[in-house]
């Protein structure tokens, strides 16, 4: 995935979930934050960020916040990008074999999953989660309680019971990490649901990403500790 019109800026503050104030070319600008998570460990005062300039004159904000430097680690924090990254990877990796159908946003019972895939032999539902929380090289999800996430995991189990294959992929929006683990401290129910889903046959995988100032691409599988 390639971004156009990327500019380097300095993060100043975040008055609410949706916008941030940045300094760019000596001016204070209002920037849209494409991630409604807390991200307190990322958006620290004077952090170096990378923003995308929009060419839409009707937008309320001219910039979107795409990535941030946390120390020497570049982290993509665009919450809209993991699905695109997974879609590209699924088509190119042959992890699922010969894909006959790859459809985004498919409903099963009471959930809308991120992807539905068909091969010659399998019908597959996939849920994708983006991961930006990192502590000493360990990456965790979620960074805030997510009842919706628990619901999705439980209904992936229902997919298995109904003869489908089911997967949850954690797209880690950075590279060079030690392992992935569910954030039990923040949401124990999510961690428990993920562990149960694994036992019931849901495939649980994590992929790190090569991240640059203007691109992100899925790279390698990461060890998972449940």
Taking only the tens place, the pLDDT of each residue in 19-42 is 999 999 999 999 999 998 888 899
What is the pLDDT of the chain when averaged over all its residues? 95
Is residue 112 a contact partner of residue 105, using CB atoms and an 8 Å limit? yes
Q: Which range has the worst mean pLDDT, 57-71, 119-133, 175-189?
A: 57-71
Task: Find all residues with CB under 8 Å of 11, minimum gap 6, and list them.
Answer: 20, 21, 22, 43, 44, 45, 46, 47, 48, 49, 65, 68
Q: Specify the residue for token string 């930006």.
A: 132
Predicted pLDDT of residue 60: 86
Per-residue pLDDT, 56:
87
pLDDT at residue 175 greater than cutoff 90? yes
Kindly provide the b/e burial profile for residues 127-166, where b requires at least 16 CB atoms within 10 angstroms of the residue's own CB: bbbbbbbbeeeebbbbbeebeebbebbbbbbbbbeeebbb
Q: Which pLDDT tens digit goes with each residue over 81-112?
A: 999 999 999 999 999 999 999 999 999 888 89
């Amino acid at each position: 995935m390639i971004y156009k019109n990327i500019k380097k800026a300095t993060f100043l503050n975040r008055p609410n979930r949706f916008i941030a104030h940045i300094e760019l070319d000596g001016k204070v600008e209002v920037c849209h934050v494409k991630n409604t998570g807390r991200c307190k460990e990322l958006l620290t005062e004077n952090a170096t960020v990378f923003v995308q300039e929009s060419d839409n004159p009707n937008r309320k904000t001219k910039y979107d916040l795409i990535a941030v430097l946390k120390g020497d680690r570049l982290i993509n924090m665009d919450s809209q990008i993991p699905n695109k990254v997974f879609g590209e990877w699924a088509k190119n990796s042959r992890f699922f074999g010969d894909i006959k159908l790859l459809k985004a946003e498919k409903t099963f019972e009471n959930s809308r999953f991120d992807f539905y895939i068909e091969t010659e032999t399998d019908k597959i539902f996939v849920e994708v989660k983006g991961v930006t929380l990192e502590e000493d090289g360990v990456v965790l999800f979620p960074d805030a309680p997510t009842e919706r996430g628990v619901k999705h995991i439980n209904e992936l189990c229902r997919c298995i019971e109904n003869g489908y294959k089911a997967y949850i992929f954690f797209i880690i929006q950075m590279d060079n990490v030690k392992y992935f683990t569910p954030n039990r401290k923040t949401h124990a129910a999510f961690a428990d649901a993920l562990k149960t889903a694994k036992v019931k046959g849901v495939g649980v995988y994590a992929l790190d990403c090569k991240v640059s100032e203007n691109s992100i691409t899925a790279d390698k599988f990461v060890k998972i500790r449940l």
